[in-house]
């Protein structure tokens, strides 16, 4: 497995909508493995393919067994999900505002309002279609990562002024990445 380079906002790939995956082969499984290794290496809980320069509708996620928004962000407990071509079928009317972080937006915590629950249709790494309902931090992480594969970062939830300030701060501190 390989740890991939995580792209930092405002990289143009992060603003690009990812393509649907049509081939479920060893190359795809290698990308999933590399993305997982990258997510763990950066102590993340989710990673979308375009964050590592792969313009495919792929997400990896592992929040462990603790699905609460107040969980300790450090321990990874190997409850790994692969979501390929994810499609949201339903979101709850209940909304929760929570400060999110992002591997592609380092050093920034941005409050984002998201649905507390969702039902997701997706393919696993073999191409098998699945439908599951997610709540709490899992739902939030999925919605955050789906934003990524749709070409949106959490910076897009800010006003233009706040977004410009955040991007300047990121560029100043992370321009070498």
- Which CATH number covers residue 106? 3.90.45.10
Residue 144 is labelled as binding a ligand: yes
Can you spell out the DSSP letters for 66-106? --STT--SS-----EEEEEEEEEEEE-S-EEEEEE--TTST
Q: What is the pLDDT of residue 71?
A: 45
Half-sphere exposure of 138 (CA within 13 A, CB side): 18
For residue range 12-66, what is the model confidence (pLDDT) as tens digits? 999 999 999 999 999 999 999 999 999 999 989 999 999 999 999 999 999 876 6
- 145 catalytic? Reply is yes
| Nearest by Cα to 49 from 10, 75, 80, 85 | 85
- Let me know if residue 3 belongs to a domain: no
Given the residues 37, 87, 113, 145, select the one marked as catalytic: 145
- Let me know if residue 5 belongs to a domain: no
Rounded to the nearest 10°, the torsion over CA 45, 129, 118, 92 is 170
Residue 148 is labelled as binding a ligand: yes
- Let me know if residue 7 belongs to a domain: no
Number of domains in the chain: 1
**Can you give the pTM of this predicted structure?**
0.91
For residue range 140-167, what is the model confidence (pLDDT) as tens digits? 999 999 999 999 999 999 999 999 999 9
The answer to whether residue 78 scores a pLDDT higher than 90 is no
Give the residue numbers spanning the domain of 17. Answer: 12-174
Residue 141 is labelled as binding a ligand: no
């Amino acid at each position: 497995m390989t740890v991939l380079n995580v792209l930092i906002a405002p990289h143009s790939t992060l603003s690009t909508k990812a393509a649907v995956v049509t081939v479920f082969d060893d190359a795809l499984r290698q990308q999933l493995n590399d993305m997982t290794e990258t997510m763990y290496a950066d102590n993340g809980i989710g990673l979308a393919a375009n964050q590592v320069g792969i313009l495919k509708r792929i997400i990896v996620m592992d929040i462990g067994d603790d699905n609460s928004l107040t969980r300790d962000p450090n321990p990874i407990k190997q409850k790994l999900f692969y979501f390929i071509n994810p499609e949201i079928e339903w979101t709850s009317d209940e909304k929760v505002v929570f400060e999110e972080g992002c591997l592609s937006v380092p050093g920034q915590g941005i409050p984002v309002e998201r649905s507390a629950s969702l039902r997701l249709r997706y393919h696993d790494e073999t191409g098998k279609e699945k439908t599951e309902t997610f709540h709490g931090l899992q739902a939030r992480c999925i919605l955050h990562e789906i934003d990524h594969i749709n070409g949106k970062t959490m910076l897009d939830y800010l006003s233009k002024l706040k977004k410009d300030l955040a991007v300047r701060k990121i560029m100043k501190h992370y321009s070498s990445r």
